[in-house]
Amino acid sequence: MKIGIIGGTGGMGKGFALRWCQKHDVLVGSRDAQRASDAAVEYTTAAKEAYGNIGGTISGTDNLSVAKQSDVLVLAIPYENIDSVCPDLLANVKDSCTVVSPIVPMTKTETGFEFIPLKDNKPFAHQSVQKYMKNKSKLVSAFHVISEKKLVDPKFVLDYDIFVCGDDKESIDTVNSLILEIAGLRPIFLGSGALAYQAEIATPLLLNAMIKNKLKNPGIKIL
């Protein structure tokens, strides 16, 4: 399976590439194709140092090329970039492509981290991305509450639950399988994409708890 990561040169993109390259071909995307290619070389070296041999590959190119080739496309981009990045890319994905949104609409204020849809009456990330989808049911929201610093260490075993929201069973099953491939993660289905705001709002909640209680890169686990 080809897994494309838009914003693949960032911390989340690196973490996903290192975790999934053991079984899949990972495509690192960036606005700058050379930057993506350089990152892919770096990630490949890190993956082989961690695992020895890998069953898949990591390559890098421009975002549009990644979008066209991917079977699964992860949007590791900021909320404020949705309207500038998604129209062109999502118009060019394969009809069968599952799109994953880990995007969180939040901002830091004097009060703490706040959820933009509540603060400024704006759409949540799933809504914003979905309007650009050719097949709106192929969008799945997941990976909002994962620690980037822990994700990028391929030897670190995570112990988190990952909330999943979506409308297409096949796409949900695909994302669930990718979650389970990362040691220590468990998918927790919340419901349709209309409920994705419940997964998104968990991130500012978690960050505020981390800062106020001096926790170190916490996650969420349902017991």
> Could you tell me the residue ranges of all domains in the chain?
2-213
Model pLDDT, residue 218: 86
Give me the residue label for tokens 């053991």. 22
User: Taking the model in full, what pTM does it have?
Assistant: 0.95
pLDDT in tens, 103-155: 999 999 999 999 999 999 999 999 999 999 999 999 999 999 988 888 999 88
Model pLDDT, residue 45: 96
pLDDT in tens, 11-53: 999 999 999 999 999 999 999 999 999 999 999 999 999 999 8
Average pLDDT over residues 78-91: 97
Domain 2-213, architecture per CATH = 3-Layer(aba) Sandwich (3.40)
Tell me how far apart the alpha carbons of residues 27 and 36 are, in angstroms, rounded to a whole number: 9
Tokens found for residue 35: 């930057």
Mean pLDDT, rounded, of the chain: 96
